[in-house]
Amino acid sequence: MLSYSILEISQIVSGKILGSGNVIINQFFTDSRKVIQGTSGLFFAIKGENHDGHKFISQVYEFGVKNFLISDTQSIESLDLPDANFVIVENVLKAFQTLAAYHRSTFKIPVVGIIGSNGKTIIKEWLFYLLKQQVALIRSPKSYNSQIGVPLSVLLMNDFHKMAIFEAGISMPKEMTVLESIIKPKVVIFSNIGNAHQENFESLEQKVYEKLQLAINSELLIYCADYDVITKVLAKPEFKHIQILSWGIKRDAHVKISNINVLHNTTEIQGEVKSKTFSFTIPFTDRASIENAIHCYMLLISAGQMSKNMKKLFLTLPPVAMRLELKEGKNNCTIINDSYNSDLESIKIAIDFLKQQKQYERKTIIISDIQQSDIPEENVYKEIFDIIMLNKIDNLITIGSKFLKYKKYYKGNLLSFKDTDAFIGSLQNIAISNEIILIKGARKYQFERISTLLEFKTHQTVLEINLSAIVSNLNYFRSLMADKVKIMVMVKAFSYGSGSYEIANLLQHHRVDYLAVAFVDEGVELRKSGITIPIVVMNPELNSFQLMVEYSLEPEIYNMRALNHVIRTLKQIEYKGAYPIHVKIDTGMKRMGFEADSIDEVLIKILEENCIKVASVFSHLAGSDDAQFDDFTSNQIHTFTSVCDKFSKALDYSFVRHILNSAGIERFSGAQLDMVRLGIGLYGISVLDGAKTQNISTLKTSISQIKAVSEYESVGYSRKGRVQRNSRIAVLPIGYADGLSRGLSNGVGSVIINGTKVPYIGNICMDACMVDVTDIEANEGDEVIIFGSELPITEIANLLNTIPYEILTGISRRVKRVYFQE
């Protein structure tokens, strides 16, 4: 484990010490939510577009970390932090990168850097799999390839490592130069080039040029010559000195791939290098896996590492789990499934994800022996036990002989089994209920068998929710907001069909200011599940206001009847203090809310009572998504600000003003006031062309049966589906009871199977529907996309002459939600 004193760090980053310089640092943190209690760590208070680490110094201190690298000394002037130590610099991020670059310079081992639009993580993980028995390897955790992720990765290097593999990703010019100074790779693999992050580059050529900066001082660059744009940029004088190993299928290259033979579940790849032929086989058939595997092969032949045993390893290349999945379990449990790999850093990431889940007090980890060749075995297991104990996990279940061997280091509830079969055989005797369970295992332990036993099974149709995409969308809208503007996020209607608690918990973790629900029972459910941030109820039932008080839910007040009822109830229960209310103004929506000309009466009533306090005044825009209504929208905003002025003059305290919805945030930035409300935008819907929002939901199912239907036969109810030729019809286990609109019947809509659109045929039934697969390769069990990134929900909404809200909120609760974090 690395260690630097505060004094050494200050000297490396040219900082000034406030406090002691003798403290030894063994952990680095850049996110206050990922701080591990009891560690001798250093927190870097990084300022970014949407955050400022200085705001969380007190919180980090409370977790027991007392060492900070900061740039804003004013942020600590009013803080009472005994024994805290500070290193003061001009720019915290640059200092963090400088420290990582220094740390890298102390190692003389070969380093491989991986760049490209896609495939970086898979290439890195496959190289680790292929080489781990031969060399002690350090690699980037997960997809840590950013301006912060790369330094975090490099700072994990220690004296046991004999080789390193790091990813590097950029989203704008000049970033790769910084990463190159940190990674200093000997070899660079350029995986491929595509349109990811293209918005910040003038051309694809410019993006290739910027990515190639990682190779500017390297000894070897490996790339696929079929990407003409990479070959073109490499012809520039500044890259002429780089030694290149190219491979190609279509283009001339140093290594010619002569044949790709795709079989049922495997692919044989044949090629020629320096007049010598070679071949190897991989257990995948898709184009991306073939490309990634060839890159790995090229690195190994360049390093003289290819052998018969190595070729055998290619045949067993594992699928790379790119995400943590959150699923409903049996006995009122939730399962976090990370059952494909296990090493020290991925364990830390998985435990951090486990800590974010607040719906259960009890937390259990089921973990296998791990794959870690770079640190002495006993040290690894002792550190894992330490991490689990520091994170106060209630129950630990270990599987494998190594955990058995070192279990003396664990002080807590521990069950140990020699293998997966032994655990499964004893499962009926283990009480598992009302808890969240992390399943974390190396692939050879087949932990998917455990997750299958613990997961609650529903039918084949699932709605996948990408939590990483939700965070990306949140950050996109935050990037449009002015400093100090708050954000309220709508999680009503089961979070637009995406699942209430899971989304609310994610938003709480990412520090939104308010949540909003439609009805009281939604808010109560969130409170019972551990959500503590302020929650506004937009349609409060008057007879349930006492329940709102019990669960600290704040009501929207939209008429005098509601206002009087709230005041009367507070007096009846003898509420102490002033209860927060949110006053709704109708500025043109003609839905709920006080009319502007009735505000004087409202203010008189509010001023008469001391049991209530106006937390916010707000209104709702009727046409902010449509330019033809911009004048109307401007009038709404003007009316609202005039009403707010009246409130400001009448009240002797401040309150929050908000009128902008998702479309308003994008189109009326001048009206952000004190807070904005984010709704459908969080879920990937934007009114702007080219917006950086991401799809978060994929509704998918699988083919239950394929039938041969003869010419002129009919399909489905009322014989609506008529075939005009001998056809193959696939039956899917999803219908209108699941939220699939009958309006898509009879060829109006389509699904995607194996990358191809195929139409619905016949009427959509309650629990099933049929599609025509005559013209494509399709088999029973194949995955079917109802909507997702490949088939946008906006496209389906347009076909149905409706809006995405209706489709999302219409997905039945019987459809299983699977949440994942990339």
Give the CA count within 13 Å in the CB-facing half-sphere of 24.
4
DSSP 8-state secondary structure symbol assigned to residue 744: G
Q: What are the beta bridge partners of residue 752? A: 757, 785
Cβ distance 86 to 77 under 8 Å?
A: no
Q: Which residue has the tokens 């911009």?
A: 630
Cβ distance 120 to 114 under 8 Å?
A: yes
In 3-state terms the chain splits into helix, strand, coil percentages (rounded to 5) of 35, 25, 40
Give the CA count within 13 Å in the CB-facing half-sphere of 170.
24
**What 3 state SS string does 767-816 have?**
CCEEEECCCCCCCCCCEEEEECCCCCHHHHHHHCCCCHHHHHHCCCCCCE
Length of the chain: 822
Cβ distance 340 to 321 under 8 Å?
A: yes
C-alpha–C-alpha distance, residues 87 and 52, integer Å: 17
Strands 675-678, 486-490: pairing is parallel
User: Collapsing DSSP states into helix, strand and coil, what is residue 678?
Assistant: strand
DSSP 8-state secondary structure symbol assigned to residue 510: T
Q: Which residue has the tokens 């992390």?
A: 438
DSSP 8-state secondary structure symbol assigned to residue 582: E
User: Collapsing DSSP states into helix, strand and coil, what is residue 77?
Assistant: coil
Work out the angle at residue 490's Cα, subtended by the Cα atoms of residues 486 and 493, and round it to the nearest 5 degrees: 170
User: Collapsing DSSP states into helix, strand and coil, what is residue 534?
Assistant: coil
**Considering 207, 492, 584, 700, which one is annotated as catalytic?**
492
Q: What is the DSSP string of 201-217?
A: SS-HHHHHHHHGGGGTT
* Known catalytic residue at 492: yes
**Considering 16, 250, 392, 717, which one is annotated as catalytic?**
717
* Known catalytic residue at 717: yes
Q: Kindly state the helix (H) or strand (E) to which residue 221 belongs, with its residue range.
A: strand 220-224
C-alpha–C-alpha distance, residues 553 and 532, integer Å: 10
User: Collapsing DSSP states into helix, strand and coil, what is residue 819?
Assistant: strand
C-alpha–C-alpha distance, residues 30 and 69, integer Å: 10
Q: Kindly state the helix (H) or strand (E) to which residue 403 belongs, with its residue range.
A: helix 401-405
Known catalytic residues? 492, 717
